Amino acid sequence: MQVNKSYILIIFVSVVLTFLTNFGLNYSLLEHFLFLKTTSLGSEMLLPSIETTYLVANEWWRLITPT
């Protein structure tokens, strides 16, 4: 079975990001890969509404991030 090299690259990048974000617990690094800006309340990650992120905070670049 032949595996495409792009699949190996995608899996490698996913594994590296998983360990860099400590399996999703590092909110400050994980926030750059999400469509909505996050806030943390203790050990929970809160996601605001779309209007708050794009209209109030004016963070339009989140629409083109690779999530």
pLDDT in tens, 5-58: 889 999 998 899 889 988 878 777 877 777 777 777 777 777 778 788 778 888
Alpha helices in 1-67 (DSSP H): 5-20, 27-30, 50-51
pLDDT confidence of residue 65:
62
Residue 16, pLDDT score: 93
pTM here?
0.52
Give the model's pLDDT for residue 1: 60
Q: Is the pLDDT of residue 67 over 70?
A: no
Quote the tokens at residue 61.
């670049």
